[in-house]
Amino acid sequence: MNPFTTRALAAAAMAALLSACASGGAPAAGPAAPAGGHGQTAFMGSYDANRDGVVTRAEYDAIRLQRFRDADTNKDGVLSEAEYVAEFEGRLKRQYFDQGRQPDAAYENSIKQAKVRYAIVNRARDGRFTRAEDEAIADKTFKAADTNGDGRVDSNDPPRPREARNDAD
């Protein structure tokens, strides 16, 4: 099978998946762009649940917790790599669908990045990413985005240099 055929098949499979998502009916409320990207726009898109331009710590923590619980499909209280990546891919698919995009090289790369992130967040390398580990990362990620340190992430937070960003999520 030549690479073009493989790509076409992959695209067809993804289109089927995306239309399955669509018929499921995604809720209109909630964050605007729930996966991927860096910087404040991505952060707001992921965590500003009521879309008022401010991410409070309460909003942020609630979404992190919900995400963790949704990802823990076997309900054992920890995330395996497969659960972690599947949760991310679900959000990425919705984002692509909402934007009318077909899966592309960036999509594949995002999935690879999610696997890399899992290896980073699961520090113990034991295949068990715990809620406590997630909370520790969440705290760092929020504080990294809240550059003026007022406990909220909004347009008053000056961007920080790229090398200082926390890429854990």
Chain residues binding Ca ion by CB under 5 A are 48, 50, 52, 54, 72, 74, 76, 83, 146, 148, 150, 152, 157
Three-state SS letters, 3-19: HHHHHHHHHHHHHHHHH
Minimum distance from CB of 10 to Ca ion (Å)? 27
Residues 6+ apart with CB under 8 A from 127: 80, 81
Q: Pick between residue 69 and residue 101 the one whose CB is nearest to Ca ion.
A: 69
133 vs 149: CA distance, rounded Å: 22
Minimum distance from CB of 139 to Ca ion (Å)? 15
Minimum distance from CB of 151 to Ca ion (Å)? 7
Minimum distance from CB of 18 to Ca ion (Å)? 26
134 vs 129: CA distance, rounded Å: 7
73 vs 64: CA distance, rounded Å: 15
Measured CA angle at 35 (ends 33, 41), to 5 deg: 55
Q: Pick between residue 23 and residue 125 the one whose CB is nearest to Ca ion.
A: 125
